[in-house]
Amino acid sequence: FGAGFPQKFVPSFSWGGSEQMSAYEYDKALEVARIVTARRKIDFSEGHARIFRAVWELAKQVEEREY
């Protein structure tokens, strides 16, 4: 996150630091989730993908209310 302090509210699926925050793109976040679970020898099923999408959508709703 670099020097300084991040803003008071840090959105889920975001990347950055005290100077600037940027949204993590859904497709990239999903790809990373698949890679991370595979490293742990866990099959990232379609059910996991649906849950991931639902969490993504809920996080976006929270973010919209905070700004």
For 11-58, what is each residue's pLDDT tens digit?
888 877 667 778 889 999 999 999 999 999 999 999 999 999 999 999
Closest CA to 34 of 53, 61, 7: 53
The amino acid present at 22, given as its one-letter code, is: S
Q: How confident is the model at residue 67 (pLDDT cuts 50, 70, 90)?
A: low
Task: Look at the pTM and tell me if it is higher than 0.75.
Answer: no
CA distances from 58 to 18, 29, 61 (A): 24, 15, 5
Using only C-alpha atoms, the chain has a radius of gyration, in whole angstroms, of 14
